[in-house]
Amino acid sequence: MNTIQDVIQIIDLLYKHNWDERNGGNLSYLLSEEEVKDICDIHHPLRTFSYSFDMKELIGKYILITGTGKYFKNCLKDPKNNLGILRVEDAHTLSLLWGYEDGGSPTSEAPTHLKCHIERLKVDPLHRLVIHCHPTNIICMTHIHSLDSNRFTETLWKMQTESIVVFPEGIAVLPWMLCGGEEIGDATAAHMKDYRSVVWAQHGIFCTGKTLDEVFGLIETIEKAAEIYMKICDKKIIQSIKNEELIQLATAFKVEYRKGIID
C-alpha cells in the first residue's frame, strides 16, 4: 500500500495548501502492474465505466483516479471511498479494480486526464502523473493579466530566479471555458504536446510529470511566482530580472527554454 500512501500524502498537502477546497481538483497517476498487484486483485474487476472518446493508446494501463464529488481532505482517512484504481480495457472502457467502495466513479474530469496522459506519453515515455488544482494566486493572476501564453510565461519567469529553470517550456493558458466537457479537455490535451502545465483562467491549473514530487514542486513554483506577481503588480518596479539574465540562467542550468518569449 506504499503507493496509495504516497499519493494520499500529496493529496493531503494539496488540500492543506488550500489548492483543493471542497471537491475541487483531481489527480490521476499511472501505476505499474506490480504496484497494483501489491494493492488488489487484478483479475476480478468490480465494475466498468464507459467513455465515448478513444483511449486505445492507453489499453492495458493501470490508473489511480480520484473520485467524482470527493473531498481531498477525506482521502487520508478514507482512501477506499475517495480513490479508485482502474485498468483501460479497450478504447472506451475502464474497469474498476479497487476503491470507490461507496458506489462512486472517476472524477468528471477523467476524460481530460486520460487525454493528457495520451499526449504526454508521446512526449515523455516516463510520464505518470496529472494533477488539477486551484492555486489562489494563479487564479487571481488570470483576472488581471493578459492570457497570452507567452506573456503569461514571461511574467512568471521574471518573478523569481528558479522559474525558468523549473518550467523552461513555459505555461499554456486557456481562456475561461466550461469545465468537465469535451472542448476544454481537448484544448488542454492539445497544449500538453508542448507544455507540462496548462492554466484554466478563473479556475486553476493542470500540471503533469514523472513523479509526485516533480509535479507538486512544479505547482509550488508556478504558484509562488504568481503570488510574487500579485504582491507587486500594483507597485512601482525598480529592478527585475532582465531577458539576457534569464538566458544566462537557462544556459547555466542547461535547460532548453521556449524560444520566442524573451529573445
The dihedrals phi and psi of 238, each to the nearest 5 degrees, come to -90, -40
Candidates 55, 95, 18; CA nearest to 185 is 55
- Report residue 115 as a C-alpha cell: 487525454
Q: What is the CA radius of gyration of the chain?
A: 19
Catalytic site positions: 109
d(CA 129, CA 189): 14
Residue 57, exposed/middle/buried by CB under 10 A (0-12, 13-18, 19+)? middle
Q: What's the N-to-C CA distance of the chain in angstroms?
A: 48
Gap between the Cα atoms of 154 and 70, Å rounded: 35
